[in-house]
Amino acid sequence: MRSTFGSIETSLRGLRAQQLALEVTGHNISNANTPGYSRQVVDMKATDPYAIPTMNRNIIAGQIGTGVTVTQIRRMRDQFVDRRTQYENAALGYWDARQRSFSHLEVTLAEPADLETGASIGYHLNEFWAALQNLGNANRADNIAVRSVVREKANNLCDTIRGTYRQLNVLRENLNTEIDVKVGRINALAEQIANLNAEIAKITAVGDQPNDLMDQREVLVGELSNMVSISVYTDDLNRYSINIAGMLLVRGDASYSMETKINNDPSSDQYGLYDVVWSHNGQAVTFADGELKGLLEMRDEEVLYYMDSLDKFAETLIMEFNAQHAAGYGLNGSTGLSFFSGMGAADITLDAAILDPADGLDNIAASANSDPTADGNGENALLLAKLIKEEPLVDGTTSLSDFYDSLIAKLGIDAEKAQVTHTNQKTLIGHLKNMQESVAGVSLDEEMANLIKFQNAYNAAARMMTAIDEILDKLINGTGIVGR
């Protein structure tokens, strides 16, 4: 027979369930603005009714309910959107690294030229060409002022080439340092995820749902997926296994770290820079996507390409210009002199004979004629100017001016592609986050409605208990005289 006090237990279960629902609602409201927080929902079900059907059970109208219980506190999350976001995050990180680096390249090369500051190589190359044209035209080759302008413009060009090359090298070193920092951050994230895996497994094993810990882990995985392309798998204890191109980064409560090693191969383009390898076996880490891949590509390919191209430009300028200059004659009859000195972009400068305070200007071989009576001849100056704009010197197909212009055009195209793709990727990530937010986000309107609903249910359960108490009081204290 059902206990007289069974209704009190039914009311108590109602109180407990509604109180828990209120606590979860309060937790949702408190974390409405917490990054990475997933809305939680209380799942309730009716407890087993009285009585269980048997052959000798009491004859009653039917099974009587015994109340309610909370089966789980469910974390609202779309795992498919999470995995898609992680995949697209890697692409976003990749293009973000390229877009930032190309922006730095554009600033370094200062193109298009700023007419006020004249900071770019293209600007100074045109100024040098114009000065040579001026020296060669109208029989002004004997004009010291015009020669002084030529030397000044040439010196400015050399300074700009050296400065630009040095800045490109600094950019490459900065990328190298950033790679080292990112590897350290990846290791830290892997260790934190492994530690959370251990805590989550313990809680899951006893039948509870570690919702907040899983949210914390998802935030870490999101940051990790931006830096490197990952694959994530979940076991029966809700632990994550994460691998990078088939190599484990996290497995259960264990993490496998990377490290950066200085490249000691003098024949390598990466000599003196960091290689990223696995700490446990020394194998190179393969990156399919992500910010780290973008940084490595910019350091090892893109920035290096512009450094090599600038070096080729300077080397060709030095070699071809010196050959033509040596064939001409200065005001003092000097010949066979070089105009530039150095091996390439890193050390290009004016030759000591041109920089000489006493005879430097006279040593500029503007004339193609050694006749002292033809000092004003500027034919060689025009031939020198022609080397810059017209002669196919670079690889035998392109003039110096066109070669540099094509280099800047390539930079513009690459930078625009990186910018557009980065913007598109951000838009896609924003769409995915909105999709996740529609599932996992906390709506204060909805929570306030739940608050009212659960509060009224709690009050009703409490009122039910009061009614049962009044009934039992009447039954026990107000009925019969037995026991007096």
**Same structural domain, 383 and 342:** yes
**Same structural domain, 201 and 234:** yes
CB-based contacts of 407, cutoff 8 Å, min separation 6: 306, 309, 310, 313
**Same structural domain, 332 and 285:** yes
Residue-range definition of the domain harbouring residue 10: 6-76+441-477
DSSP H helices, 229-361, are: 291-297, 303-326, 352-355
pTM score of the predicted model? 0.88
**Same structural domain, 213 and 171:** yes
CB-based contacts of 28, cutoff 8 Å, min separation 6: 39, 40, 442, 447
Tell me the β-bridge partners of 343.
none
Predicted confidence (pLDDT) at residue 326 exceeds the cutoff of 80:
yes
Residue 309 lies in a domain: yes
3-state secondary structure of 131: helix
**CA separation (Å) from 243 to 85, 87, 225, 231, 250?**
16, 13, 11, 5, 7
**Same structural domain, 68 and 107:** no
Residue 484 lies in a domain: no
3-state secondary structure of 110: coil
Q: What is the pLDDT of residues 64-98, one digit of tens each?
A: 888 999 999 999 999 999 999 999 999 999 999 99
Residue 409 lies in a domain: no
Query: 92: which 2 tokens?
Result: 């976003």
Range with the lowest mean pLDDT among 61-75, 173-187, 220-234, 282-296?
A: 61-75
Residue 13 lies in a domain: yes
**CA separation (Å) from 483 to 3, 4, 433?**
21, 19, 71
Tell me the β-bridge partners of 40.
75
**Same structural domain, 332 and 457:** no
Q: What is the pLDDT of residues 395-409, one digit of tens each?
A: 888 899 999 999 999
**Same structural domain, 355 and 275:** yes
**Same structural domain, 257 and 292:** yes
Q: At which of 362, 391, 420 does a domain end?
A: 391
The number of folded domains in the chain is 2
Q: How many CA atoms lie within 13 A of 191 on its CB side?
A: 8
Residue 433 lies in a domain: no
**Same structural domain, 319 and 445:** no
Residue 422 lies in a domain: no
Q: At which of 363, 391, 419 does a domain end?
A: 391
**Same structural domain, 164 and 233:** yes
**Same structural domain, 53 and 190:** no
Tell me the β-bridge partners of 70.
44
Residue 194 lies in a domain: yes
**Same structural domain, 67 and 210:** no
CB 95 within 8 A of CB 429: no
Residue 398 lies in a domain: no
Q: At which of 391, 426, 455 does a domain end?
A: 391
* Average pLDDT over the chain, rounded to an integer: 90
Q: What is the pLDDT of residues 159-195, one digit of tens each?
A: 999 999 999 999 999 999 999 999 999 999 999 999 9
